[in-house]
Structure 1
Amino acid sequence: MRRSLWQSLQQLTATLFPARYSWPAMDIQLGNRRLHLAGSIHMGTRDMQPLPAGLLRQLNKADALIVEADITQGASPFTNDDVHPPLETRLDADVIHQLNALCDTLSLSPDIFDTLPFWQIALMLQAQQAQRLGLRPQYGIDYQLLLAAKSANKRIIELEGPDTQIALLKSLPQDGLPLLLDTLEHWHTNARLLQTMISWWLDAPPKQQPVALPTTFSSELNDTLMRNRNQHWRELLLALPKGRYVVAVGALHLYGDDNLPALLK
């Protein structure tokens, strides 16, 4: 009885006074499961290596590392079998003009996008933007955690996996056109958002909740790429067996409307 009361007090204390870390993270107790939720950046800066010692200690104490997908396999998620008609037959002239202007800024040839699906063009542009801000895949938080977990022979659990993520992108309406349009429209806002997330890791994570973040997705895209995935992940995390887990998901999934921690609590 005393043990049960003490556990209840511990859980209440953790809820009222969550631990503060030097990286964007929070602890959540789900009965006999303890989750350390870390807000990952899939591409990071050189200064993000090595990972904080405290985060590595969390991993060493964990029974498993949970990630969106194991991205250490090295295989490209893109294939060349999804060929589309030229962009001039699929996009309005003003959108093509906007895309060409952005390609000039990035020193890219628009021809590389000509027969690609819209969602793939959007991802390639976003990757270029991240690289211009000094971000590289090998410094990504989840990538580094995966390497550390494999080195320590920790179990790795995927919430989705690369194939599921690609299938999700391919299921977007109009071949992902809304994602491309949002990428073009919110280009500068997204850059500021990336810089904000970088500062969460290098300087200080947000302390006040809820965190106000700029909107870079339309409502429909937000439902598909954020809200629905958070709800699905919630079910998977609630079904975990007893143990300690480090959970690394994109930082935006930890903040804003319908964020993962709020759904779990």
Structure 2
Amino acid sequence: MRFHRTLLPLLLWLLLPLNAFADPAFYRISKGNEQHWLLGSIHAGKPSLYPLPDPVERAWQQSRALVMEVDMTHISQAQWQEMGAITRLVDGKTLKDHLPMDLYRRTLIAAGQNGLTEAMLAPLRPWFAAITLTQAALERTGYRGEFGVDQHFAKRANDGGKPIVGLETLLEQLGYLASVGDNQTLMLESTLDELPELEKGFTEVMAAWQNGDQATLINLLKEEMAPPKLQAWLEQTLLAERNRNWVKKWPGLPNESFIVVGALHLYGEQGLLALLEQQGWRITPLTEPAAAD
């Protein structure tokens, strides 16, 4: 399978129906007397995604804590206010003032097609407008963040009184996204280019995840999914830098943690699996990956 040359599925995966033939990749991570379980997640889904495979459910029952990219269940009012300063324009201007007119017109057309208004996008920085459009378009295909694997387990942890640990704060995660900086107009333009193919592209991403298709996911990392400047930012900042920071926190995690992160964080030379092996952790697959084509 070859993915569309698209930025969108990767952004959603980072943020951002199981079949009967194979399971998503799921691992036991152990060293000495410590062990954890690591599940590569999709951050959007449908109700038909559940229940998850038996090995995942058994590990969840045995685990003592949930570890996520960000603990969204304990966000203070002050943090929400700071989020506004990161995602919204603060120079007294609107999105229209920050974009070429032709790009702004395209943005409004896409907004209307996906249930958004000009007023909703007006205060947003271009990079956050791109993410807002992507999320709105994805929801129109039936995939919703509330049915993502991470949110599924966050709700179960809350309901069952299981502690939740974040590998980074909400503001740290938004800071990584905001670091696209001068390339945010390019990010919005690339997003608009690929919105018509979003459903097909995300369906392909979902199929690879459902099948535990590691080879296809690694190929996705190797493909050029965005203009070169954005590609470098995706690989170096959104993936590699965050992975290295997360691995530094591994020794302080509660023993027998159930860890859920975006699936693309697992693979490649700078992926979590490789970095953890370098630190002496043993990686044991607990689900059966898809057979090679």
Q: Report the TM-score, using the length of structure 1 for normalisation.
A: 0.77
Aligned-residue Cα RMSD (Å) equals: 3.0
* Aligned-partner Cα distance in 2 for 1:105–1:187: 10
TM-score between both structures, scaled by the size of structure 2: 0.71
CA, structure 1 residues 188+32, in 2 after alignment: closer, same or farther (shift >3 Å)?
A: farther
When Rg is computed on C-alpha atoms for both structures, the one with the higher figure is: 1
Partner residue in 1 for 2:174: 166
Question: Where does residue 56 of structure 2 map in the other structure?
Answer: 55
In structure 2, the residue matched to 1:15 is none
Tell me how many residue pairs correspond in the alignment.
Answer: 244
Q: Is the 8 A contact 2:95 2:125 kept in 1?
A: no
Moved more, 117-126 or 101-110: 101-110
1:108 positional shift: 3.2
d(CA) in 2 for partners of 1:204 and 1:175?
34
Deviations 1:58-97 (A, max 9, x none): 1221232110112235889553874451333211233224
TM-aligned CA deviation for residue 212 of structure 1:
0.9
Which residue does 2:15 correspond to in 1? none
Within 1, Cα distance between the matches of 2:175 and 2:107? 25
Post-superposition CA distance 1:215-240 (Å, at most 9, x none) = 24421243221121111111112x23
Tell me how far 1:209 sits from its aligned partner: 7.2
Deviates more, 1:219-228 or 1:136-145: 219-228
Q: Which residue pairs with 2:283 in the alignment?
A: none
CA 1:233 to 1:21, structure 2 compared with 1: closer, same or farther past 3 Å? farther
Shift in CA distance, 70/242, structure 1 to aligned 2, threshold 3 Å:
closer
User: Match of 1:232?
Assistant: 245
- Picking from 235, 244, 256, the partner of 1:244 is 256
The residue number in structure 1 matching 2:6 is none
SS in 2 for 1:212: helix
| Percent identical residues | 26
The one of 273, 276, 285 equivalent to 1:261 is 273
Larger RCO of the pair (alpha carbons < 8 Å, separation 6+): 2
3-state secondary structure, aligned to 1:157: strand
- Listed one character per residue, the Cα deviations across residues 24-72 of structure 1 (whole Å, up to 9, x for unaligned) are 3233334433232211122211112334343121122123211011223
Alignment counterpart, residue 91 of structure 1, candidates 77, 81, 99: 99
For the Cα contact (< 8 Å) 2:65–2:162, is it kept in 1?
A: yes
Aligned to 1:4: none
Counterpart for residue 25 of structure 2:
24
Structure 2: runs of 5 or more not aligned: 1-20, 278-293
Matches within 5 A, 1:134-173: 134-173=142-181
Separation in 1, partners of 2:127, 2:233: 15
- CA 135–176 in structure 1, closer or farther in 2 if over 3 Å, else same: same
CA spacing shift, 1:209–1:195, aligned 2, 3 Å: closer
Amino acid in structure 2 at the alignment position of 1:65: L
User: Is the 1:66–1:246 Cα contact (8 Å) retained in structure 2?
Assistant: yes
State the distance in 2 between where 1:210 and 1:220 align. 19
